[in-house]
Structure 1
């Protein structure tokens, strides 16, 4: 048995049938509705479409079904809630558009970087075998390509080094933003590229 193998002789508390997965757009709407920030986010997204794209891309990577570390909520919900609060706080301090956008993205990213390494995600195939899902790819595309029946989330519990966290930040940033948006965010922090 490999370290990433999952024992399948029981039902896990964190598993979903693949038919429970909806589009990334719908996942984003579900999470924003659960945290009661849909109206706020809609106003932000209207003015900052690149933030909406980043949030939708995050929903594409983890979906609204990915559990949070405390297993009482969902990772996308927690990331979006932190992002909305960071944006609101930056805007209240008269931050520039770029600074507010940077605050939204960084808060969303940090929640995911903190929690994502604590989980392993596996697809359960029709024959009962499992396949580990690599991080930072679209879970929707991956499930469809594999023709999986279920997705199982298991706690990993291994400490992650700062270097691994930084690598995950880089991977997620490249999965969520275009190069132009990354440059724009860097400029919003007062950095030059």
Structure 2
């Protein structure tokens, strides 16, 4: 009886071996659109691959499958958000940035909302990543409180929830935005005006420095 031939190492499809970083970037960008539009459960790897213009086997090759791709995408998102929480930047400007981020990148903003809408679902993913990010953000807000950016009688955790809800308003309440402001919630004009109003609100919370 002849011995089975040894398996060769798993290889990426030939057409993409020469530029793996570009392929990964294309897949992440396509995944952001697909996950943002449908949420994790309804998203299809075949649609992501088709949007990226690559073989869907590359999702398994580079990311280990659908969940690995999702985790890679959200890790990048949370890393960017943490980096934006700059201690040297006025707190009002940080809030302005987050308020405008949902208009700048709807797909990421929708992905974040999907994670919360599917909380507790059997196939919910990204729970630990989001929890870790939010815990970091609470500590950031607490540090800004200690620096006098808002009064000591406000709870940093609840204040973070308030700011996040406010930052998601254009995406979660587009009909309300149109009715009360007369502006398009998807427009750069609305993002600028709304971010400015939130920044002003945060500025009013600032505790006067003692001389």
**Same-fold call, TM > 0.5?**
no
The structure, 1 or 2, with the larger RCO (C-alpha pairs under 8 Å, 6+ apart) is 1
Q: Which category describes the TM-score, using the shorter chain as reference length?
A: under 0.3
Structure number with the higher strand fraction is: 1
Larger radius of gyration: 2
TM-score, structure 1 normalization: 0.24
TM-score, structure 2 normalization: 0.22
Structure number with the higher helix fraction is: 2
